Amino acid sequence: MELVSQVDVVLDCSDNFATRYALNQACVQLKKPFVSGAATRFDGQVAVFDMRHPHSPCYHCLYPEQPDALETRCAVMGVFAPLVGIIGSIQAAEALKLLMGIGTLLCNRLLITDLLHMELRTVKLNKDPACLICGAPCT
């Protein structure tokens, strides 16, 4: 909470759910934008959760905590080396655009990359009104 309170945007580049959930919770409480990135094997994901907006979904809306969730760490599952550079560069681009207030961000969308078949697509994300972290939207 102390570190997140000192910044304008948070980028998650960790490889575990505990860190992601902790960063997400701090960003929700402090209303900070959260740029999430993940990479395993040939598959990557990026999303921007802009918690300055009350109707934004949070990371927990997308991935609710599961007690038996399978951790898919790069150290165990492996990762295609160029993928981490691509995902990290997309996160950096989103963070810079957010700070400059330009362009269209990956807010309310999840970018899914499949480098093995070189396919990129986005899916729409919705806020979970029953989310334990961000709760119901303000009206």
For Zn ion, which residue has the nearest CB? 131
Is 26 a residue that touches Zn ion (CB under 5 A)?
A: no
Minimum CB–partner distance for residue 63 and Zn ion (Å): 10
Q: CA-to-CA distance for 108 and 23, rounded, in angstroms? A: 18
Minimum CB–partner distance for residue 56 and Zn ion (Å): 8
Is 58 a residue that touches Zn ion (CB under 5 A)?
A: yes
Hey, is 81 helix, strand or coil?
helix
Stretch that binds Zn ion, among 14-22, 51-59, 82-90, 96-104 (CB under 5 A): 51-59
Cβ-based neighbours of 106, under 8 Å, separated by 6 or more: 46, 47, 48, 94, 122
Q: CA-to-CA distance for 99 and 105, rounded, in angstroms? A: 11
Is 62 a residue that touches Zn ion (CB under 5 A)?
A: no
Contact 137, 54 (CB under 8 A): yes
Is 111 a residue that touches Zn ion (CB under 5 A)?
A: no
Q: Which spans of this chain sit near Zn ion (rule: CB under 5 A)?
A: 58, 60-61, 131, 133-134
